[in-house]
C-alpha cells in the first residue's frame, strides 16, 4: 500500500479507486477478512465498486484479532463497553501511520494543530486504559504546543 496516495485523495473517483485497492489488499493480507469474504462468496474479482465492499461486523473485533498477517500490534485500543462486557479491540501495527491518519483528518477539518489550543474534557475516558480517543487527544495536546492545551477533567475551574 502506498499510504501517501491515501492522504492525497482529491476526488470521489480517486477515493473509489483507492478504496478498491485497499479492499484487495485487506482481502489478501488479513486472513479473517478473507475468510469472511469467501463465506459471502465475494472476491476481489467480483467487487468493482465501492458499494460492493463488505464490512466486518463489529462483533468480529470482539472475538478475532483483526490485523495484517505477519504484523504485530504496537498498541491495542479497546472499546469502552459496559461493565463485564467483552470489548472490541483495535490492533494497531504502525503507530506512525495511525497518527498520520488522525492528524491529517483533524487538520482537514480544523486547520493546523499548532494554531489551536486543545481543551479536553473526557469524562469516563481518562479512567480506563486503552482509549484511542485519549491517545489521539493527548497526541494533539502535545503537538499543539500551547501551554493552555490539556486535559481538564479534574480542573473544571481552570477550564
Length of the chain: 159
Measured CA to CA, the distance from residue 94 to residue 87 in angstroms comes to 21
The pLDDT of residue 83 is above 60: no
Mean per-residue pLDDT over the chain, rounded:
91
pLDDT of res. 125: 65
Q: How far apart are CA 17 and CA 21, in angstroms?
A: 6
pLDDT-derived band of residue 152, with 50, 70 and 90 as boundaries?
A: confident
Buried b (16+ CB within 10 A) or exposed e, 61-95: beebebbbeeeeeeeebbbeeeeeeeebbbbbeee
pLDDT at 81 over 60: yes
Position 86 scores a pLDDT of: 82
Cα–Cα distances (Å) from 133 to 73, 79, 97, in that order, read 18, 10, 16
pTM: 0.83
pLDDT per residue as tens digits for the range 61-70: 999 999 999 9
Amino acid at each position: 500500500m502506498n499510504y501517501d496516495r491515501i492522504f492525497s485523495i482529491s476526488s470521489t473517483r480517486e477515493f473509489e479507486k483507492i478504496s478498491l485497492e485497499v479492499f484487495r489488499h485487506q482481502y489478501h493480507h488479513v486472513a479473517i477478512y478473507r475468510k469472511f469474504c469467501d463465506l459471502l462468496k465475494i472476491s476481489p474479482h467480483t467487487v468493482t465498486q465501492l458499494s460492493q465492499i463488505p464490512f466486518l461486523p463489529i462483533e468480529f473485533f470482539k472475538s478475532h484479532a483483526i490485523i495484517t498477517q505477519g504484523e504485530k500490534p504496537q498498541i491495542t485500543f479497546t472499546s469502552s463497553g459496559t461493565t463485564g462486557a467483552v470489548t472490541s479491540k483495535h490492533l494497531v501495527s504502525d503507530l506512525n501511520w495511525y497518527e498520520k491518519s488522525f492528524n491529517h483528518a483533524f487538520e482537514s477539518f480544523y486547520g493546523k494543530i499548532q494554531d489551536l489550543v486543545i481543551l479536553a474534557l473526557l469524562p469516563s475516558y481518562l479512567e480506563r486504559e486503552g482509549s484511542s480517543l485519549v491517545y489521539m487527544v493527548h497526541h494533539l495536546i502535545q503537538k499543539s504546543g500551547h501551554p493552555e492545551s490539556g486535559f481538564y477533567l479534574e480542573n473544571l475551574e481552570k477550564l
